[in-house]
Amino acid sequence: MSLLILTGFYLGLAAALPQEPAPSPAPQETKAAAAAKLGVQVRDFETEEPLSGVEIVLEDLPGVPGWRGRTDERGRIEVEQFASGTKLQIVARLGGYAARRVSTVVTGAEDLQRVYLMRAATVSLKLPARPAQDGVGRALRLEPRAGSDTRLLLQDESYLLPVAEDGTVGPVSICIGSYVATLREGGIDRCEWNLEADAATQTAPTELPFESGIASIDGRVLDENGQPRPGARVRLVSESSSGARPIAFADELGLFAFRGVPSGSYRVQVMRRVARNFLDAQDLIMHSRAFDAFQASRRVEVDAETPHVEVRFGYDPRAVNVTGILLSEDIPVPGWRVMLEDRTTGDTWLSEFSRTDGMFDVAGLRPNAKLMISYETSTAWVPGGEMEVGNDEREVHTLRIPPFLFSGQVFYTGTRLSPDEGRLLVEGGGEGENLRWLAWLGPDGTFEVPGLRPGRYEIYVQTPRCKELRRRLVVDADGLRQIDVELEMQLLQTRD
């Protein structure tokens, strides 16, 4: 095994607390159990400094206040009141910070439950006016944007804020950061915006823009077999502005429509609601979490001369519909998704996960198109090569993935402890190539970067609270098919 040592935390509201996925109900104890010690420490998310005077509320029943206290000069608090195995909600509040609510389980161990607080932003918003609709409630969901510090802190938590009859939201205190704000009407997503929440004082509500025009876009979403996909989520994204992104849903025939569209160039994006399983490290229970996954994107343009366009996703007898097989050294590769990007139009398609025989389907490609290939695994994004399709209605293509696998585990320097959040970038390739791989660290700091080819690479390891590491890797054509490494990361601050 080759060994590469690289020297360079996971992060753990009162106007509004983020909504956390509801925990699974726990069985009730039938007999009394001895009280166990619970230790909590609160730190500033940005500086890692302990926070004193933080009000801590421990709730063993949702929404029912229980034990109360404040952290000491070390940001700590200890309590011996709850039996081992008790599930608690920890609510932490301090002036100038957004309140947090986190779940924990009393274990009686010496380990501290760390809670991170982020500076607060007071947000007041104004939504576009709309005709009165009796009985249809409106709410605004704020979700941290992927890749932001807020996402690292809040993970899958979100804010759900009520919208008043005049379209105002707030003022409300939330964590500083970047969000996607989604308007829900009658429980259905209608539109979304990007939102930046900062510490600046607002003198008036921030208006969320929504332009209107006279153009219309109609479309249909089908699967690779030509069957309608009712309920498919479709998003309209302007290429020239960062304003509103209207949302539509396909009906039982797969049809959708956008009305009142301003002139301009747009991306019509089809999303698919999928579920991903994850293991709760405290309960050791497998949960399922739903999210929107990108599936396809088509570019359209509307103006005064072309006020109406139609777009189709999925199987199309007038287009090229590809069935492919993924192979690595002639062995089928299951569980990968294939992304194809048209080099001329920029249209993109993302397949479902390849089957056990390595087969996958992509429907509706432009005839005679030259396509860029990339792959998505459960833990990494992998660049591919190029392919060209002809003009047959059905075509079969074989895609071969280079066999080299770069894998390993990340530890904090001087320990066998691993960060449970972070990513690893690998850039380079063969002669004249400048490709990029992206891998996410697993909960135990492990990673896998498949599909490498002989060449020279720059490695960048990025985890919260650690300085970015940069090292080099050379893959020899005659070398090992798998390269295992251990990477050591230096925490920037480790104060108690």
Who's near 104: CB < 8 A, 6+ residues apart? 38, 87, 88, 90, 113, 282
- ∠ CA 294-296-301, nearest 5°, is 120
Contact 175, 99 (CB under 8 A): no
Does 306 lie in the same domain as 231? yes
Annotate 35-58 with b (16+ C-beta within 10 A) or e (fewer): ebebebbbbbbeeeebbeebbbbb
* Inter-CA distances, 334 with 357, 358, 461, Å: 7, 5, 27
Does 180 lie in the same domain as 87? no
Does 235 lie in the same domain as 190? no
Query: What is the model's pLDDT at position 360?
Result: 93
| CATH, residue 381 | 2.60.40.10
Does 310 lie in the same domain as 220? yes
β-sheet bridge partners, residue 269? 235, 297
Domain contains 28: no
Domain end call among 356, 371, 401: 401
Query: What is the model's pLDDT at position 494?
Result: 44
The Cβ-side half-sphere exposure at 55, using a 13 Å CA radius, reads 13
Range of the domain at 379: 318-401
Contact 200, 243 (CB under 8 A): no
Domain end call among 401, 424, 444: 401
Domain contains 41: yes
Does 128 lie in the same domain as 109? no
Query: What is the model's pLDDT at position 4?
Result: 39
Does 283 lie in the same domain as 345? no
Does 280 lie in the same domain as 294? yes
Domain contains 425: yes
Domain end call among 300, 315, 330: 315
pLDDT by 10s per residue, the chain, length 496: 333 333 332 333 334 555 555 444 444 444 445 667 788 889 888 888 899 999 998 887 655 567 889 999 999 988 877 777 788 888 899 999 988 888 888 876 666 788 888 888 888 998 876 655 555 678 888 888 876 777 766 766 788 888 888 888 888 888 888 888 888 888 788 888 988 888 776 677 888 888 888 889 999 988 878 888 888 889 998 887 777 889 999 999 999 999 988 888 999 988 866 555 444 434 444 444 555 666 788 888 898 888 888 888 887 788 888 999 999 989 999 999 999 999 888 899 988 889 999 999 998 888 999 999 999 988 889 998 899 999 898 999 999 998 888 888 888 887 877 776 788 999 998 888 889 999 988 878 889 999 988 889 999 988 876 778 888 888 887 766 777 777 777 765 544 4
Rounded Cα gap, residues 265 and 274, in angstroms: 28
Query: Tokens 């697993």 sit at which residue?
Result: 442
Domain contains 20: no
Instruction: Work out the burial of residue 392: count CB atoms within 10 Å of its CB; fewer than 13 is exposed, 13-18 middle, 19 or more buried.
Output: exposed
Round to the nearest angstrom and report the end-to-end CA distance of the chain. 37
Task: Name which of 77, 69, 76, 57 is nearest 17 in CA terms.
Answer: 57
Annotate 315-340 with b (16+ C-beta within 10 A) or e (fewer): bbeebbbbebbbebeeeebeebbbbb
Domain contains 496: no
**How many structural domains compose the chain?**
5
Rounded Cα gap, residues 18 and 315, in angstroms: 41
Domain contains 5: no
Does 100 lie in the same domain as 128? no
| CATH, residue 125 | 2.60.40
Who's near 7: CB < 8 A, 6+ residues apart? 413, 469, 488, 489, 490
For 354-357, which contacts have Cβ atoms below 8 Å and span 24 or more sequence positions?
Answer: 354/326, 356/332, 357/325, 357/332
User: Three-state secondary structure along 346-363?
Assistant: CCEEECCCCCCCCEEEEE
Domain contains 2: no
Contact 457, 383 (CB under 8 A): no
Query: What is the model's pLDDT at position 15?
Result: 42
Does 305 lie in the same domain as 220? yes
Task: Name which of 49, 53, 89, 51 is nearest 69 in CA terms.
Answer: 53
User: Three-state secondary structure along 117-178?
Assistant: ECEEEEEEEECCCCCCCCCCCEEEEEEECCCCHHHHHHCCCEEEEECCCCCEEEEEEEECEE
Does 140 lie in the same domain as 126? yes
Tell me, rounded to whole angstroms, the distance of Cα 328 from its chain centroid. Answer: 29
Does 251 lie in the same domain as 201? no
Instruction: Work out the burial of residue 272: count CB atoms within 10 Å of its CB; fewer than 13 is exposed, 13-18 middle, 19 or more buried.
Output: middle
Does 296 lie in the same domain as 232? yes
